[in-house]
Chain A
Amino acid sequence: MAVEAEAAARELRATYATGKTKSFEWRSSQLKAIQKIVSLHSDEIVEALRSDLQKPEFESVVHEISGVSASCKLALKELNRWMKPQKVKTSLITFPSSAKIVSEPFGVVLVISAWNFPLLLSLDPVVGAIAAGNAVVLKPSESSPATSSLLAKLVGKYMDASAVRVVEGAVAETAALLEQKWDKILYTGGGKVGRIVLSAAAKHLTPVILELGGKCPVVVDSAVNLKVAARRIIAGKWCANSGQTCISPDYIITTKDFAPQLVNALSAQLDKFFGKEPLRSKELSSIVNIHHFNRLVKLLDDDEVSRKIVRGGERDQSNLKIAPTIISGVSTDSLLMDEEIFGPILPIITVDQIEECVGVINAKEKPLAAYLFTNDKKLEDKFVRNISAGAMIINDTVIHFFEAGLPFGGVGGSGMGAYHGKFSFDAFSHKKALLKRSFAVDISARYPPYTPGKRRFLRAVVQGNLLDILRSLYSCW
């Protein structure tokens, strides 16, 4: 495994050195290859996702396949424009000169993907890396083995193996990869491994993007369209991999008075979406493996928690499914409020005044996303101004993920760096500063021997005062 990691890094570096991956033609050919992968093999992809996560076909197509396809389409459309150097202004101090910022690839990059959206979180960063002209090694998650193996097969078949490689495996293989020197790493996953990736990158001074998670709060004010709010919360929580999503609502904050109405509304909509027997619904994803299933069941069976369940709680170990579960009146020091839940359990924290939500949220690590349902402008302003998160949505959940015009990334405990759309291209590009100077004007004040006159001149130039500059120029010579 160490051999495979080292060979991949070495071979891709040799390919990169030839300059092959920098051309527009190579980049667009590879992007088209990715498009082919998702369009010609969508059935196999859906099957692999079903095998790994019991992911409903709808989610597979909408969240994963269409997501990748849309990314490729945007990159192909914009690539020419993105690759163009950006002219910038120059000032009197460097006159005469011209300046530009040139985007160039970092070189050979490593993308480490996650198991919950194993196709999307593998290929979406790869789209960015390739658009920016890098060679890429992709390490899919071993917890989604069918998708990992399918990716290895399809990337091997359609893409340029000398520059784009899939390396499969678990902890040992990942560690071996992290020993190599990469020019950039993008990691999607949890904070614990995020720290390991960052430490490994430090040895080689490799810049890193960490897409981590966090406890994404949803604050629900009382004067809102409750039906719509409930549907949007459910869509974000249970219609996306059964809550196993980095931007899923993790917990709700609402007032004590409003909580019962909210619970009723959620319940009513849950009935509509998943029916009276959610465990048998084809619309519900399962938990990825027995380890996470047991982790979630342990949370549910905790005495403090189990007696506060107001909806759900049913589980089916043979199919690794847990019903959409709501727990009301949870305290801020409950077990459920410790770590990211990453499952179909939704605790509700109640406060006296809705404004208290700011204190509750700020007592925890900065989340990847924070959501607020309200019609109150003042509350909205307070929320946006006083809470830090990767992103925020007012009156909806998760949907910002699909907006390529917005940067997608975390802050603090939820990560560093961002991607999606042009941000992906930028994330995998080094922005090289370029300054072109002429010989026409050469200011002697730059050079020794230094005189008081030169000092006056420099001072005037820094002040930007034209009159002073002329005056001191006159006295300088």
Chain B
Amino acid sequence: MEDFHGLIGLRRAFRAGKTRGIEWRMCQLRALLKLVSENEARFFEALEQDLGKHPVEAYRDEIGVLKKSADHALLNIKKWMAPKKGHLPLLLFPSRAEVLPEPLGTVLIFGSWNFPISLTLDPLVGAISAGNTVVVKPSELAPACSSLICQTIPLYLDREAIRVVEGGSDVADKLLQQQWDKIFFTGSPRVGRIIMTAAAKHLTPVTLELGGKCPVILDSFSESDLKVVVKRIVGGKWGPCAGQACIGIDYLLVQKKLASHLIESLKACIKKFYGDDVKSLQSICRIVNKNHFDRVCSLLEEPSVGASVIYGGSLDRENLMIEPTVLLDPPVDAPIMTDEIFGPLLPIITLDKIEDSIDFINARPKPLAIYAFTHNNKLKDQILQETSSGSVTFNDTMIQFICDSLPFGGVGQSGFGRYHGKYSFDTFSHEKAVLHRSFYLELEPRYPPWNDFKLEFIRLAYNFEYVGLLLLLLGLRRRYTSSRSH
């Protein structure tokens, strides 16, 4: 049988118990931190090459995230690995119960191209902390990063337990034919379906971190607050990979009468952050490749959509740059409003009243994130209770991503499963229930031959009616009488 990329070796290493001890796991996490700090300049270069990502953005969204994640894991791994004690009812006395986290085995991680370092290596932190052996498949659409990861990982991490496999969809297909104990995928719903279908053949559990159209709901604000709001919206739309982010703002909902003032503020902020000449934009990524460039451009092709562009719209195909573009009320059935944009175009949809945003969002697939800028507590409650999304953030954008105590994951079309912080550890673990019983204190009613007494005993026991049990044992309680005699 062909040993695809040394998979047999990985499984053998796992069975030999190599990855189980806390020392191995911590050693690998420290090695990963070393890898990142000693190669930081090379990572910045690779990100610049693949996406035109500015080092500050690269540090904020990729290197810094990874460092924080590995540090957090090192700090907490002992606690995470400890069994959780269960409390047992009196009836099972004397017993002891616990839930023991254990690794799943050999796991497969598919990275993504938009945050090719953090979305590939952050799940790796989780897989290692949980004690698994791992194959990492970075995205081929970010080739410099993929190649750097492939070069550096074997130099720092345990090659018997952690492997990087590079390649395109043919390699991915072959990987999917193998048997894994878990698959972790970040990417589009379309490929998510392919992954899950392949996983189904082997009953492999999967975590799918997908995308969606993440809306911003913008209520009314004072002038001073609006300054901050606009910065957060602009920073949240074009800051992360020029809008090519799963939790990036996709579109904005605002009350009609506030739209024009908002648009003026947005324009000013965009100019300040990025400049206004598509040939010399600053601090913003480019589109990853010609395919995606053409895809994003095609969203503007329809005349009614083109006509709704009120800022930007300039294109530089040679450098794969699209100017930050704002649209006002494009038709809601055009692809720009039905497909995830994943690019630097921001449609603004105006409503009569801001509460209408709830129905608007609910008419569409559940997104990975909903952002709402409002001081109105009633509106906040409504949004929370009447919409569904992976997460909800009030009065900011993107930042929920770095909150380690919050689970990061989707629902519905935006995926299932979650990670970050302890959730990363959990997602790559099986929680095994272990019950320890003693030989003493035998419960006769467990065993046949059955009779009414035993029946009543157990019925009371299940309902935790200890007083009734006592009465029954003392002969002071009427027994259950069945309508069928034995």
Contact = CB atoms under 8 A, between A and B. Distances in A.
A446 B235 contact: yes
A274 B234 CA distance: 76
A121 B434 CA distance: 22
A235 interface: yes
A287 to B, nearest CB: 18
A130 B215 CA distance: 30
A406 B97 contact: yes
B406 A99 contact: yes
A454 B274 CA distance: 16
B406 A435 contact: yes
Contacts of B192: 205
A402 B407 CA distance: 30
Contacts of B434: 384, 391-394
A198 interface: yes
Interface stretch (B121-129, B140-148, B436-444, B468-476): B436-444
A457 to B, nearest CB: 10
Interface string B377-421: 000000011101111111110011011111110011101111000
B228 A439 contact: yes
A405 interface: yes
A224 interface: yes
B154 interface: no
A198 B196 contact: yes
A161 interface: no
- Chain B binding surface SS class: mixed
Interface stretch (A25-33, A90-98, A330-338): A90-98
Contact of A43 (B235, B394, B455, B483): B483
Given A392-B435, A406-B433, A99 B399 contact: no
Nearest to B64: A462
A205 B412 contact: yes
B257 interface: no
A199 B55 contact: no
A408 interface: yes
B102 interface: yes
Contacts of A380: 436
A434 B384 contact: yes
Interface centre among B54, B407, B431, B434 (most CB of A within 10 A): B434
Contacts of A437: 393-396, 399
A432 B400 CA distance: 12
Q: Interface residues of A toward B: which range?
A: 35 or more
Contacts, number: 293
Contact of A394 (B100, B415, B435): B435
A198 B435 contact: no
Interface centre among A66, A239, A447 (most CB of B within 10 A): A447
A371 B394 CA distance: 49
B280 interface: no
Interface in A216-232: 224-225, 228-229, 231-232
Interface residues of B, number: 108
B459 interface: yes
A450 B435 contact: no
B458 interface: yes
A472 interface: no
A51 to B, nearest CB: 13
Given A399-B435, A462-B64, A462-B68, A69 B462 contact: yes
Contact of B439 (A225, A399, A418): A225
B83 to A, nearest CB: 10
Contacts of A261: none
A202 B283 contact: no
B55 A67 contact: no
Nearest to A282: B486
B431 A407 contact: yes
B64 A459 contact: yes
A343 interface: no
Given A102-B384, A195-B201, A431-B418, A205 B189 contact: yes
A437 B480 CA distance: 58
B433 A392 contact: yes
B231 A442 contact: yes
Contact of B432 (A19, A57, A411, A432): A411
Interface in A401-453: 402-403, 405-408, 411-413, 415-418, 430-439, 442, 446-451
Contacts of B208: 205
Contacts of A283: 448-450
Nearest to B83: A384
Contact of A405 (B86, B272, B390, B449): B86
B435 A406 contact: yes
Nearest to A226: B439
B239 A66 contact: no
Contacts of B396: 97, 435, 437
A335 B389 CA distance: 49
Given A229-B439, A390-B433, 13 more contacts: A56-B450, A61-B455, A61-B458, A66-B462, A93-B68, A194-B203, A203-B193, A205-B210, A212-B203, A224-B439, A231-B442, A448-B273, A450-B56
Interface of A: 17, 19, 22, 43, 46, 56-58, 61-62, 66-67, 69-70, 73, 88-91, 93-94, 97, 99, 101-102, 104, 106-107, 183, 191, 194-195, 198-199, 201-203, 205, 207, 210, 212, 224-225, 228-229, 231-232, 234-235, 239, 273-275, 281-283, 362, 375, 380, 384-386, 388-396, 399-400, 402-403, 405-408, 411-413, 415-418, 430-439, 442, 446-451, 454-455, 458-459, 462-464
24 contacts: A43-B483, A61-B480, A102-B392, A198-B203, A199-B197, A199-B200, A201-B196, A201-B200, A203-B193, A205-B413, A212-B203, A224-B439, A239-B447, A273-B448, A283-B449, A411-B432, A412-B105, A430-B411, A432-B384, A434-B394, A448-B239, A450-B54, A458-B60, A462-B67
